[in-house]
Amino acid sequence: MKVILVYDINEKRVTKVLKTCRKYLNWVQNSVFEGEISEAKLVKLKMELKKIIHEDEDSVIIYTFRSAWYTNRETIGVKKGVQELII
């Protein structure tokens, strides 16, 4: 599946999150990654991120694209700018 991952992380943890995301996805710009990833690797990435972030302070948003007809937005941690629309 294709994935876009964006994050807003406290400076104390941002380097660890950056390195973790780079193991699985391609860096696009500050706090943004994209790429193709298997379901199993996505689960592993999310587990690793949950160990690093503070869910009451940090935010990770993962957009998954399984086909041209289906999208899903998942937020781990603080939900900021609750816009649910993908343009």
Residue 26 exposure: Cα atoms within 13 Å on the Cβ side: 6
Contact 48, 21 (CB under 8 A): no
Annotated binding site: 8
User: Quick one: tokens of 15?
Assistant: 């380097």
Contact 12, 57 (CB under 8 A): no
User: Quick one: tokens of 19?
Assistant: 């390195």
Annotated binding site for Mg(2+): 8
Report the 10 Å Cβ neighbour count for 21: 22
